[in-house]
Structure 1
Amino acid sequence: MKQSKLNINTTKYEEPELIKARLDLLLDKFGMLENHVKPANNYSPRHIFHDLERAFEAKLSKNEILTMFYNFLKFEESLQCLKRREFHSGEYIINNIINLNADYNPAVRAGMDSLFMAVVAYNSYVKGNHQQAIAELSGAIEKAEEQGKSFPMFYACIQEQWLNKVRVYYKKKDFTTSLAESVSLIVHSLTGRYRSNPDVEQGYLLLSSDTRHMMQDHILNNILRYLSDIPNESGNDFSLNQYKQQLVTGLAQQLIDEPEQGDNQQALSVLSELYNHKPEAFITGVINNFNAVLNANNSVQHAIFSELEHLFMHFETEVHTHQNYQAFLNYSAELNPESSSVITRQIKEVA
């Protein structure tokens, strides 16, 4: 018997034909997609260093700008060495930067220190010093909070280093902490909520909607698509489904009192039904909340559509005969343009 991504066994369900019928009803909804326009994100991401330098260039001397650029290039050089597993070279550059003890202009010092501490944390991470890396990332976040007071754009760096902390907890298999941190990080990205420092919440919400949407896509994409793929190994605190279920349910609960997040909240609630082993309720929820699903964050939609594809395959539904089948595939592919849909890939492999 074919197994889905979620290891759903059709023999568990008394009415697999009912599920197939609901999947067919779901495809009927895709006739609406011709009139559905996905909002465009016009933000062009670049390294925050360049924004920091440009924001304060009027206050900086030529030598201060050259100092910033020299050290930033060294940050990047060290990072690339570490990523290529050239550990001695990467650490050598880090030690040289420390010994230089650059005298940054006070206007940009906290931001430059934050960027450097993130590189130092990565060095600790690749050497397996996870607790040290977490402490260093916490330091980078504190410096980002400080820089954000005069340059709110830098508040976005908090999320990047927070995401790195989640990665470290995940790597050390502390799934309880990575789960709690993931929920808090996503809620902050979507709503600005940041209990430890109200200034961060207020400053982040002042950023342009394009900037915030870019960060939301980045955070949700990494956590929902990648970090929640827990290997089914003995000794794990969570199974794959348990982790995803608690992540999605926790997010949905946290967003209940956030009116602007209504579509994301509904879509996540629908997705949680599947991770609670209720595929019928999941499909019905997508049908009944179709507009909310289409208006949810792209990464939330991608998670839902990916699971729908697996259900189509698992229950061996003859979807290719449905008039809206291609519309479903096209929309699903748009959510993940770097790769074809699961169903499309399977068709190509068979061909």
Structure 2
Amino acid sequence: MKIAVDAMGGDYAPLEIVKGVEKSRDQFSDIEFILFGDEAKIKAVLKDTTRVTIHHTDDMIEMGEEPVRAIRRKKNSSMVLAATAVKNGEADAFFSAGNTGAILAAGIFIVGRIKGIDRPALATVLPSVDGPHDSFVMMDMGANAESKAAHLYQYGFLGDFYAEKVLGFENPRVGLLNLGTEEDKGDEVHKEAWQLLNKAPKLNYIGNVEARELLNGAADVVVTDGSNGNTALKAIEGTALTIINLLKESILGGGIKAKLGGLLIKDALRGMRDKLDYTKAGGAVLLGVNAPVVKTHGSAKEREVANTFAQIHTMVQNGLVPAIQDYIANHADVIKVTANEESKG
């Protein structure tokens, strides 16, 4: 399989992107990489060209640029050309650590939406500290600030597919992020979404889940709109980092006894940190487009980049996108009818 890589996207590009490419290349013998970016800068940090091709580009999309305008104006940027390679069948998947909005725009407007999906959405895998699995899928994480009930319904199917095909969950439990667990909680969109998901064929829908239960294994797939999803993600990330830093400060500033105690529980603290490390699962996936489009944090370094390539490898190897395309095509009437029902409501 071939992965088109925006080698210039990210805070530490191209160094950390290239290091992640080489680590993944050494791990997987069946991956080839096409790196799009400044050839001189890439070659300066690339140690081995085995299964790595460089496609020189003179332009790149900066983090602060307006996404759609940048995609339209910078046709020769590393991001646009990497996405175009996937559209043209020259690569199987697209990766970037760059401008999130531009990645979404490239995925939707260049790679293209799956027919039957109204709005592609960002899905990410987060850790679960309790429950049947050690992680869960959550979407949308920011691709769409607002969503209709029919969109949330479609996210349920997309997330279910990802949990089953990539994470290997059997009959994933699908929940709707809401203010409370009762059926009538939330605004009209969430009330309608509850009804649609509850009637959805082939979904193991368990109802509403609250934000405080997300990390406790409340569901294997959590459906939400982009605004609430992104807010919840940042709250989880911030809380995890704060807890770890507070523990470290308390131990280091607590005198000899605290430091001795810290040494005794060092392995346990390391285990807690690893359990809360959301980067192990890779990046955020734009589900609902015609090929794997995956972004990782702009601050990603070698390990997180390599983890994301492992994630892409699983997606391509398991035929995630063709499976979604087939399912949507075979159940188009169900999704269409549901969307019509939502619009009437």
**Shorter-chain TM band:** under 0.3
Larger Rg: 1
Higher strand share: 2
Structure 1 or 2: more helix by fraction: 1
Q: TM-score, normalised by structure 1?
A: 0.23
Higher relative contact order, chain-length normalized (CA < 8 Å, sep 6+): 2
